[in-house]
Structure 1
Amino acid sequence: MASRSLVFSLHISTLTLFILSKTATCCFTHIFGFGDSMSDNGNLLKSIGDRFHPVGYLPYGETYFGRPTGRFSDGRIILDFVAEGYELPFIPPYLSGTSPEDFPHGANFAFAGATALSDSYFESRGIVPYGFYTLDTQIHWFKNLLASISEQPGYSSDYMSNVLFVVGEIGGNDYNHPMFDGRTLDEVRTFVPDVLSKISLTIQELISCGAKTLLVPNIFPIGCNPIYLTTFQSKNREDYDSKTGCIKPLNEFIEYHNAKLSKELEKLRQLYPNVTIIYGDYYAAAMKIFSNPEEFGFSYPLVACCGSEGPYNYSSLAKCGYPRSTVCSDPSKYVSWDGLHVTEAAYKLIAQGLLDGTHSSPPIPTNCSNFMHDSA
């Protein structure tokens, strides 16, 4: 009976994507994405040129593309599945083009390592900035591209009504960097109001540019990531969730951020009643997998597919793509790809939860007539 239930569930999920792709194409003709390495599909790789980075080599990209694309996964990421759901081609990274003609259906500005907060913010707290492109830079790129697009023949004021803005995941690195720098959870918690303020201001800036529909995802449960499970191992059994094996204090911190983000989005909905602001619950979608991995076909929920050594197959001395690292034979059995990022199989399930409305609030638009906006 269990196997029949799983097969039925998979058929329903597939049918959901099929129906969505056949009914929602008129809603969104463009997607603009922002975020960090969970969403980056080539910007970091384009920025470093010929310099070495493991994401530029196999096994990254091996499952779907058969080659590295700059995605920090074995295949497609959530933004790809969202684009597929609306029968759009994969959205190109911003740094891969030079003119509006290179972005007929939108652009992805996400950059691996990106933070919401500025480098100066971290410097003021004695934290050496990582020097990655921040959310401010991504917004600057977007405005430059939008200015060019608006000058093209045939540009209409209705353009923004047909754009889906995916703002995130963003904020994770604002916490990752200081925690790996040795800062305590209590100290990092004080960053949350500033991170949320920056995300809120960014959303308002996009709205001022004409954005009508924004999907704003929350942050994944970091306490289930092999890199965190390895770095912050505890001898106290009470620190671990008995059902999932994830580190409870880390996930509780992310739950705190996510709850505050949800409240901030509700405030913005009150301020902008004519704009659709969707809360994407990556956390709940991922925790559903970690709570019942076998139900979704995962045999190794807390172990990295690509990595080396230790109980979680992650070592900072032999990361995925470096010498001594190995790659599993079937990434679809793993949730984690390289210890920090997710496999295509897990990304697909999370994306389905967004597209079918299970983990998006309000549900992501699937019917044009219900979600068209006046082009004010």
Structure 2
Amino acid sequence: MIISCLGTVSATPPLKYYDSIFSFGDSLADTGNFLLSGALAFPVIGELPYGETYFHRATGRCSNGRLVVDFIAEAYGLPYLPPYLALAKGNEKFEQGVNFAVAGATAMDAKIFYDRKIGQILWTNDSLSVQLGWFKKLKSTLCSTKEDCAKYFKKSLFLVGEIGGNDYNYPFFVGGSIKQLKALVPLVVETIVAATSMLIEEGAVELIVAGNLPIGCNAVYLTLFRTPNISAYDQNGCLKAYNAFSKYHNSQLKLALETLRQKYPHANIIYADYYGAAKRFFHAPKHYGFSEGTLVACCGGGGPYNFNNSARCGHTGSRACLDPSTHANWDGVHLTEVAYRHIAMGLVKGPFTSPPLTFPPINDF
């Protein structure tokens, strides 16, 4: 309450919140688009044990349960975001938000990867520009005039990413070196920033742009790039060079977002520090309830980190652990619901968003 010489001027303002959420990204955010796209005839994410913990069925999420985007929706009292491709079925409502993210998606267009002779391993061609095209197509059904759109999007939260991780995963997994991939970072960052700029031009004013996770702590990287050289690992057992690469990408993204803030001073462009939010539980797993640690996958086909490329989670020869809440890593590539919850809490409640979100959450999760 504010007091002046004239008496009471104003009381605490009423609680404000987001009315809708629009999400873009890859498998860290996909709530069903990849499954609906038919990119693979029988994708394992369409079967249990995927989804077993919360939904008790496979939903197309690359985890045992909810993702960061699901927890953010819960925090603001919004329904889980329907995948954009469910629009064709006509049984979803999109007024409170839509998810455009697709598992396997890259920030850069697929053509770049085909030109570099690694396009044949892409899961999907639904890159960030394709997802933006979907948004533009849908926009006309959400608001009719520029004024209507400005009013509608003023209380919408836009989640840009995590995206970009696959731009590095694909080349890393076919033998690309860190030096070669570093040269790609400016192009990936430029693509993410251009997408963010386009969304602002379309009316977005509150945007979260996510950095990359510490990939050197991921079971797939720990398996593929395992080395007897002890000095290659940090105190938590993560590969130092690959974590340094993630930090390099994130530092370049933060610099680019600072330039974007100067161009669009009216927009709240928020950097989400996925790296910092996740590094906490890699550093102190038992503090966060991960009694089985954070480096070994819950669901897999064996090996030091329970990641076996010939028996990945959901495939013959793999099995899921009895209690996924004791693990941070779900299938060697993606995290468990509990790990995503810790990341989401670090974003919504702080301190891993910079600047903070405009509106406080209205629910705990």
Q: TM-score, normalised by structure 1?
A: 0.88
Separation in structure 2 between the aligned mates of residue 327 and residue 101 of structure 1, nearest angstrom: 31
Q: Is the 8 A contact 2:28 2:62 kept in 1?
A: yes
Post-superposition Cα deviations, 1:261-318, rounded to whole Å, max 9, x if no partner, equal: 1111111111111100000000001101100001111022100000011110000000
Structure 1 counterpart of 2:190: 197
Moved more, 116-125 or 81-90: 116-125
Structure 1 counterpart of 2:47: 57
Q: Report how far residue 245 of structure 1 moved.
A: 0.1
Pair 1:179 & 2:172 matched: yes
Structure 1 counterpart of 2:4: none
Separation in structure 2 between the aligned mates of residue 308 and residue 36 of structure 1, nearest angstrom: 24
Q: Is the 8 A contact 1:29 1:163 kept in 2?
A: yes
RMSD: 1.9
Q: Report how far residue 239 of structure 1 moved.
A: 0.5
Structure 2 counterpart of 1:161: 154
Separation in structure 2 between the aligned mates of residue 286 and residue 176 of structure 1, nearest angstrom: 18
Match 1:94 to one of 84, 99, 106: 84
Q: Is the 8 A contact 1:24 1:367 kept in 2?
A: no
1:176/1:24 CA distance change after superposition, 3 Å: farther
Structure 2 counterparts to residues 1-376 of structure 1, below 5 A: 26-48=16-38, 51-98=41-88, 102-129=93-120, 130=122, 131-151=124-144, 155=148, 157-241=150-234, 243-299=235-291, 300-367=293-360
What secondary structure is seen at the aligned counterpart in 1 of 2:328? strand
Q: Which amino acid aligns with 1:122?
A: F
Separation in structure 1 between the aligned mates of residue 221 and residue 15 of structure 2, nearest angstrom: 39
Structure 2 unpaired stretches of 5+: 1-12
Q: Report how far residue 124 of structure 1 moved.
A: 2.9
What secondary structure is seen at the aligned counterpart in 2 of 1:317? helix
Identity among equivalent positions (%) equals 47
Q: Is the 8 A contact 2:95 2:142 kept in 1?
A: no
Separation in structure 2 between the aligned mates of residue 304 and residue 128 of structure 1, nearest angstrom: 27
What secondary structure is seen at the aligned counterpart in 2 of 1:246? coil
Q: Which amino acid aligns with 2:257?
A: L
Q: TM-score, normalised by structure 2?
A: 0.91
Separation in structure 2 between the aligned mates of residue 318 and residue 48 of structure 1, nearest angstrom: 22
Separation in structure 2 between the aligned mates of residue 282 and residue 236 of structure 1, nearest angstrom: 28
Separation in structure 2 between the aligned mates of residue 50 and residue 111 of structure 1, nearest angstrom: 13
Q: Which amino acid aligns with 2:154?
A: S
Separation in structure 2 between the aligned mates of residue 78 and residue 25 of structure 1, nearest angstrom: 23
Q: Is the 8 A contact 1:56 1:68 kept in 2?
A: yes
Structure 1 unpaired stretches of 5+: 1-22, 369-376
